[in-house]
Amino acid sequence: MAQMNMLQAVNNALMTAMEENERVMVLGEDVGHFGGVFRATSNLQEKFGRERVFNTPLVEQGIIGFANGLASQGSVAVAEIQFGDYIFPAFDQIVNETAKWRYRSGGQFSVGSLTIRTPYGGGIAGGLYHSQSPEAYFAHTPGMKIVTPRNPYQAKGLLLASIRDDNPVLFMEPKRIYRASVGDVPEEDYELPLGKAEVVKEGSDITLLAWGAQMEVMEKAAAMAEKDGISCEIVDLRSILPWDAETVCASVEKTGRLIVSHEAPQTGGFAAEISAKVQERCFLYLESPIMRVCGLDTPFPLAHEKEYMPDELKVYEAIKRSMNF
Amino acid sequence: MAQMNMLQAVNNALMTAMEENERVMVLGEDVGHFGGVFRATSNLQEKFGRERVFNTPLVEQGIIGFANGLASQGSVAVAEIQFGDYIFPAFDQIVNETAKWRYRSGGQFSVGSLTIRTPYGGGIAGGLYHSQSPEAYFAHTPGMKIVTPRNPYQAKGLLLASIRDDNPVLFMEPKRIYRASVGDVPEEDYELPLGKAEVVKEGSDITLLAWGAQMEVMEKAAAMAEKDGISCEIVDLRSILPWDAETVCASVEKTGRLIVSHEAPQTGGFAAEISAKVQERCFLYLESPIMRVCGLDTPFPLAHEKEYMPDELKVYEAIKRSMNF
Amino acid sequence: MKTRNHLSDVGVVNQVNIISNGLIDIPMLQILAPDGTVLEGAVEPELSKETALKIFQTMQFIRVLDERMVAAQRQGRISFYLASTGEEAASAASAAALSFDDMIMSQYREQAALAYRGYTTEQFMNQMFSNEKEPNKGRQMPIHYGAKELNFMTISSPLGTQIPQAAGYAYGQKMEGKDAMTICYFGEGAASEGDFHAGLNMAAVLSCPVIFFCRNNGYAISTPADEQFKGDGIASRGIGYGIKTIRVDGNDALAIYAATQKAREIAVSEKCPVLIEAMSYRLAAHSTSDDPTGYRSKEEEAQWKAKDPIARMANWLVSKGWLNQEENAKHVEAMRQDVLTELKRVEKVPVCPIDDLVTDVYSEVPWHLEEQLKDLKEHIKKYPEHYPKTAGRVE
Amino acid sequence: MKTRNHLSDVGVVNQVNIISNGLIDIPMLQILAPDGTVLEGAVEPELSKETALKIFQTMQFIRVLDERMVAAQRQGRISFYLASTGEEAASAASAAALSFDDMIMSQYREQAALAYRGYTTEQFMNQMFSNEKEPNKGRQMPIHYGAKELNFMTISSPLGTQIPQAAGYAYGQKMEGKDAMTICYFGEGAASEGDFHAGLNMAAVLSCPVIFFCRNNGYAISTPADEQFKGDGIASRGIGYGIKTIRVDGNDALAIYAATQKAREIAVSEKCPVLIEAMSYRLAAHSTSDDPTGYRSKEEEAQWKAKDPIARMANWLVSKGWLNQEENAKHVEAMRQDVLTELKRVEKVPVCPIDDLVTDVYSEVPWHLEEQLKDLKEHIKKYPEHYPKTAGRVE
Ligand SMILES: Cc1ncc(C[n+]2csc(CCOP(=O)(O)OP(=O)(O)O)c2C)c(N)n1
Ligand SMILES: Cc1ncc(C[n+]2csc(CCOP(=O)(O)OP(=O)(O)O)c2C)c(N)n1
Ligand SMILES: [Mg+2]
Ligand SMILES: [Mg+2]
């Protein structure tokens, strides 16, 4: 075990994957000698050479197009998009190509060995274009897997599983806690399961569901609520697509209440899908409406970032509203 | 009044808008002399010249980028994307640029005079790439308006309103009924309101909500259900963003039951947003879970298109399930 | 750390110096005159009788197939078709210059390359009828072929996407140390997409052994080339990317063969991309959904009919003594029969069972698709007459 | 119907003829030698003393501003900054060659063009402190300027998106029959984006009066130009699009001015795009988030410091008798004071009231944002100490 922050855990996972399988390649803007703008790919080029770890020209549609080709050839491509906000030029390559490759070819071909890493989320004074949480845009796309870790341990285990999973994975890294989240991470190789949520804390009155950096917010809100005698069950979704409705519904059937929270704008966010599905399945168990504590339906602001964010106070207020419904 | 099919109504709206305002321009792949692959822009170039109605090179990101520029300059740009499936290369220009232009500039600049027209939807043996319904991808994007007509009368009135609205509008045309849907359309200029749903048929037992070509399916299902003595209220959402929760919730509060249907895959589709919001608002009125009758969570298939589609039989079955819950 | 060199080779000038289009003027390689005679000064590529005839027969087969399938579409037997009439040489002769291990990523009008690789009449039919014998499982519209065993990537409709993909595929081949490369076909219209720029630039920077083969056939649906670009075709763009480029007469099978052979040699030995622009003409309608009389003249079409690549190659083959026109006519008739027979036979083959609606979305069918399939099956069993393609086989 | 011409001008060759990079070699315009003397044979552009000094003072102001704001960022007074040190000439002198009515669409390193247009120190500060006096309402990170009254489009971070937008804007200007055009600035890195391809090709085909001004400063963050492209810079791409192209020394204000003046004349009179590539060097770090010592050498930086565009122009101005170095030193000191004073003053200005969180998403605030704002205000009133920027003014 070593103490690592999330960037180190990501870096360590990449090292581990590249050591174990020489077909793993890392590509993206500035990922080479420089090690990426967040340094998640530090020392990889030195260790594995310029052919396995390389800078690309500045063109996201090309990065994913190229990585799609690489993966379809059988190489294991780990492509970095420098910020989640800049993934949209690659939207066609992801949504129309990556996600549909296996299906359209009847399984003859696939890009299952592709992993797309990208930092996402707010809280770093990034304004419109260095703060977005684009998960819901991809969650409407059959064929993709979407994964987000909440801490360094999760990051390493989930990233290794993503790289090795035989499906394309969008791996979203919560950049706000890249350095802030520190914890024990095994030096050895391990994987955590995709498609499985995790009950992080058991409770009986209400279920709080989130993923990535938002987990910290849920924990703080739960601590506030506990002081009022409200027992919160906290669930980390971990995989956004396909998502683990079973674990979530089991929790809701126990508590009767659910709050889902994400930073992305509320309308059309992934909380909507969860809410829709849970009310379908757990209709008779619900004691109050499923609530969403999300970003406002605006572009991501700068001066009003604090006000925009679904912080612990807003979650705490929602908990009380739900309890008092 | 004249009898028109939906293509003629769209064409007529474009004619009307271009006659009334000389700053209106129409651009896109093959929209010039040829009149577009569906002929929605027939005769426009002949009438208004090659400078106001022009073919672009084959590059969707460029079409929208160019149209964004045109609109920000004050021209009124009506850009066609040949198929909804090919809008994704323009995703960045739409989601990061079009939608955020006004906000990021504090209202100094905007592309409010941009309208993007695109045919969408299945039922034409188009397979993966000539069948998609991408509305939900855009509905998660504050700053956009999204509008869909269900028949020729709606098409003309909503398209004219979209072109003149001071916000960028994605106008999605249900291509399956381009020629099949025929009806009376006034020759004169008129507009229908954006952001307003319409109760197409009143009823008391259950609310059926859809938009575009799916309205026909709802009507057929309602007819089947009426034979069983179930009284269906049918609502056409018309505007997907911002959407008219008030009208929808009023209907649900009356009937106590809701079915939402769209062709796009269920997970992360816009029915999820509607369901999430309606259960929030109408929790105590709901007599059964809100149900979604949608496309399967697969890419759009060809050989199994019939099976994939949320047809009237599936909606009818859902009505019965909802009534018998 | 490497020293940077973005200025190291730049000359200086003291007056405003405008570089304009006229600076270059890229000629095209031609070996056969339109009448099939070898042009003076031209050197025939090394081409065995066997290969020459295989190219020729492939072109003829595709001409026959295209004719027949356009008719079948009119009769409502298939939903869609897209012919390559007039452009058969570009794909047949380029495919012939490749090694079988080379990956082909095509746009959609390169059926001759696929046929050259050995795709059978039956396979063509299976795809067009979206039936259960088709390895792509009938999920895409007709003409979206794909055959793993022939190293022919399944076609996808969005234009241009295969261009950066081909660069990536080729990079993977290079990393594996194989003597194989990738060829990527696309139209001059698709070359306007952003993915074209991405693909060519990345291939150059990342040293990918790939041939970018542009069929410049003058139209993208109704849009003529001069509303598509203003440069000297697509070839002139190669310069900007630092990519070696060859322009070739797209209706001259020998020239195509020679150009592709050379391009492959360069790509594999120098580990770099090569751009080929083949100048041709789409004699066919864009597809069966299109009617070109709305946007071009009969005279223009006639001019190009006169440059027919099949007739041109036939004359050359006859002059070599490798072809007998009478025998060939019989051969063509046999092809026609074969196509007809297969068409009739294959149109009766059923589509895949309903389970295949949800396979291949992921490597395994996930829980939510299991559920959706289960519900769907129950529904179909309730209304079997409404789902005739699959109801009979829902267990 | 027009006759098509995609083959009408094509010459023929009989041997495989490989067009390679070496075919062209684009020189760059230089008027001033690095020591500020006019090069032999070079002609000074027509440039009044007033304009020359305005260019020069703008460059100096930006140098001062950049220095100060980098320091302010280090002190934690602003969250982010991005300097243009070493590249001031490219934007100041090009902006000087425009008409005020011309629209400027910039990337983010063209603060000198904005200052040339008249953006004040206070305005710069307002933007960087995201305050309520800022017309962009503090919604974007520092350096995302925009000023409608100065015809300077608000900057957006996604790279390359402004390139096709500029083509469209220019088309609109042409349609309005105005004697105005658009200039679009971008880096050599951004020129790799698909939008670059889209924008240049569309501008050429649709005859848009636009100058595409590429600052080739050798780096895109850490990525050197030779990992960005393999062609002869960005200029060589102009040929492929059929766009008139000028390469210029980016550190020579006179050359930039002359090139841009000529380009504007062509763009407006011929209604067409012109591409300018200015060869320079990013002496600054990419931004305050970057540390270039990780990817380039001090020697390389030193070489380029020696080519400083400000010193070069100063020498020329002195030789013309238009500048007195001592007076100038005082002037620079005054600028520094002005920047410091404004910084101190402006950092106290509050941000916009909370209502502005939801304005400008649409032309009117829709029902759902009204609701969200209402809830938010109630929440802030409950916890005012947690939202200190806005709580005081929630009514
Ligand atoms: C991204 C995308 N946009 C639009 C289309 C619709 N479309 C299909 S073919 C075509 C024209 C292609 O022309 P070209 O590349 O020259 O190939 P050709 O048909 O001439 O062989 C268009 C616009 C598409 N398939 N994909
Ligand atoms: C679409 C997009 N991708 C990535 C980024 C992150 N990014 C910001 S600046 C930059 C480098 C730009 O280099 P260049 O265009 O050469 O301009 P320079 O900084 O050298 O002036 C990158 C990669 C971005 N802003 N937008
Ligand atoms: Mg073409
Ligand atoms: Mg640069």
Q: What is the pLDDT of residues B100-141, one digit of tens each?
A: 999 999 999 999 999 999 999 999 999 999 999 999 999 999
Whether the predicted interface score ipTM is above 0.85: yes
- Pick the residue of C159, C161, C365 with the most B CBs within 10 A to test the interface with B by mutation: C159
Ligand 4 midpoint to CA D300 (Å): 15
- Point out the residue among C139, C290, C354 whose CB comes nearest to the CB of B127: C139
Ligand 3 midpoint to CA B57 (Å): 11
Q: Is the dihedral of CA B158, B160, B161, B163 positive or negative?
A: positive
Residues 206-265, chain B, touching C (beta carbon < 8 A):
none
* Closest C-alpha to ligand 1, atom 20: C220
Mean pLDDT of A185-192: 98
- Percent pLDDT > 70 in chain A is 100
| Rounded-to-10 torsion of CA D384, D387, D393, D395 | -60
CB–CB contact C15 D29 (8 Å): yes
- Point out the residue among C146, C363, C367 whose CB comes nearest to the CB of A108: C146
Chain C residues close to B313, C-beta within 8 Å: 379, 383, 386
Does D23 score more than 70 pLDDT? Answer: no
Q: pLDDT tens for residues B273-305?
A: 999 999 999 999 999 999 999 999 999 999 999
Whether the CB of C143 sits within 6 Å of ligand 1: no
Mean pLDDT of A61-74: 98
Ligand 4 midpoint to CA B106 (Å): 28
Q: pLDDT tens for residues D287-342?
A: 999 999 989 999 999 999 999 999 999 999 999 999 999 999 999 999 999 999 99
Chain B residues close to C220, C-beta within 8 Å: 29-30, 58
d(CA D196, CA C237): 13
Here the tokens at position D353 are 């009231």
Instruction: Collect all residues with Cβ–Cβ distance below 8 Å to C338 and sequence separation of at least 6.
Output: C121
Q: Is the dihedral of CA B12, B14, B15, B19 positive or negative?
A: positive
- Point out the residue among A67, A100, A106 whose CB comes nearest to the CB of C135: A106
Q: Is B1 on the interface with C (CB under 8 A)?
A: no
The answer to whether the beta carbons of residues C166 and C196 sit under 8 Å apart is no
CB–CB contact C136 A104 (8 Å): yes
* Strand partners for D105: D184
Nearest CA in chain C to D20: C244
Ligand 4 midpoint to CA C255 (Å): 41
Q: Which atom of ligand 2 is nearest to the CA of A89?
A: 1
CB–CB contact D28 C6 (8 Å): no
Burial zone of C82 (CB within 10 Å; 0-12 exposed, 13-18 middle, 19+ buried): buried
d(CA B149, CA B212): 5
Ligand 1 midpoint to CA B63 (Å): 15
DSSP annotation of D4: P
Chain D residues close to A89, C-beta within 8 Å: 158, 193-195
Ion ligand 4: residues, CB < 5 A:
D 187-189, 217, 220
One of A29, A80, A130, A216 is an active-site residue; which one? Answer: A130
Does A268 score more than 60 pLDDT? Answer: yes
- Point out the residue among A140, A265, A297 whose CB comes nearest to the CB of B265: A140
Q: Which atom of ligand 2 is nearest to the CA of A129?
A: 25
d(CA D345, CA A228): 45
Q: Which residues of D376-385 are buried (b: 16+ CB within 10 A; e: fewer)?
A: bbebbeeeee
Q: Is A127 on the interface with D (CB under 8 A)?
A: yes
Supply the pLDDT for residue D2.
30
Residue D4: pLDDT band with limits 50, 70, 90: very low
Residues 54-113, chain C, touching D (beta carbon < 8 A):
none
User: What is the distance of C-alpha B156 from the center of its chain?
Assistant: 13
Ligand 1 midpoint to CA C144 (Å): 14
CB–CB contact C4 D226 (8 Å): yes
Nearest CA in chain B to C372: B296
The answer to whether the beta carbons of residues A79 and A28 sit under 8 Å apart is yes
Structural domains in chain B, sorted by start: 2-185 (3.40.50.970), 198-323 (3.40.50.920)
Give kind and range of the element (H or E) at residue B38. Answer: none
The answer to whether the beta carbons of residues C254 and C43 sit under 8 Å apart is no
Distance from the Cα of C358 to chain B's closest Cα (Å) equals 6
Chain D residues close to B166, C-beta within 8 Å: 363
Supply the pLDDT for residue B235.
98
Supply the pLDDT for residue A267.
98
Here the tokens at position C108 are 């959609």
Catalytic residues of B: 60, 130
User: Which residue of C110, C159, C227, C282 sits with most ligand 1 atoms within 8 Å of its CB, as the best mutation to test the pocket?
Assistant: C159
Here the tokens at position D367 are 């029902």
Residue D3: pLDDT band with limits 50, 70, 90: very low
One digit per residue, the tens of pLDDT, for chain C of length 395 reads 233 345 555 788 888 888 775 567 789 999 999 899 999 999 999 999 999 999 999 999 999 999 999 999 999 999 999 999 999 999 999 999 999 999 999 999 999 999 999 999 999 999 999 999 999 999 999 999 999 999 999 999 999 999 999 999 999 999 999 899 999 999 999 999 999 999 999 999 999 999 999 999 999 999 999 999 999 999 999 999 999 999 999 999 999 999 999 999 999 999 999 999 999 999 999 999 999 998 999 999 999 999 999 999 999 999 999 999 999 999 999 999 999 999 999 999 999 999 999 999 999 999 999 999 999 999 999 999 999 999 999 98
Ligand 2 midpoint to CA B2 (Å): 54
CB–CB contact D366 B89 (8 Å): no
Distance from the Cα of B130 to chain C's closest Cα (Å) equals 9
Catalytic residues of C: 282, 286, 295
d(CA D42, CA A266): 61
> How many residue pairs bridge chain B and chain D with CB atoms within 8 Å of each other?
161
| pTM score | 0.98
Nearest CA in chain C to A195: C366
Residue C225 burial (CB count, 10 A): 21
- Pick the residue of C123, C360, C367, C371 with the most A CBs within 10 A to test the interface with A by mutation: C360
Residue D8: pLDDT band with limits 50, 70, 90: low
The answer to whether the beta carbons of residues A5 and A179 sit under 8 Å apart is yes
Chain D residues close to B116, C-beta within 8 Å: none
- Residue type for position A277: K
Residues 31-50, chain B, touching C (beta carbon < 8 A):
32-35, 37
DSSP string, B146-180: EE--SSHHHHHHHHHHHHHSSS-EEEEEEGGGTTT
Supply the pLDDT for residue D13.
82
- Pick the residue of C28, C197, C219, C246 with the most D CBs within 10 A to test the interface with D by mutation: C197
Collapsing DSSP states into helix, strand and coil, what is residue A270? helix
Chain D residues close to A128, C-beta within 8 Å: 139-140, 156-157
Chains contacting D with at least 3 CB pairs below 8 Å? A, B, C
Q: Where are the alpha helices (DSSP H) in chain A?
A: 6-20, 44-48, 60-73, 91-92, 101-104, 135-139, 152-164, 214-227, 245-255, 270-281, 305-308, 312-323
| Rounded-to-10 torsion of CA A223, A224, A229, A234 | -40
The CA-atom distances, in angstroms, between D204 and each of A59, C293, D207 are 22, 28, 5
Ligand 3 midpoint to CA C216 (Å): 5
Best CA proximity match to C91, nearest among C63, C111, C61: C111
d(CA A275, CA A6): 30
Collapsing DSSP states into helix, strand and coil, what is residue A291? strand
Residues 283-322, chain B, touching D (beta carbon < 8 A):
none
Supply the pLDDT for residue A283.
98
Closest ligand by atom to A36 CA: 2
**Strands A114-120 and B239-241: what pairing?**
unpaired
Average pLDDT value over all residues in chain B: 98
Give me the count of residues in chain A.
325
Closest ligand by atom to A130 CA: 2
Least confident of A235-239, B186-190, D291-295: D291-295
- Point out the residue among B25, B59, B143 whose CB comes nearest to the CB of D362: B143
Q: Is B69 on the interface with D (CB under 8 A)?
A: yes
Whether the CB of D282 sits within 6 Å of ligand 2: yes
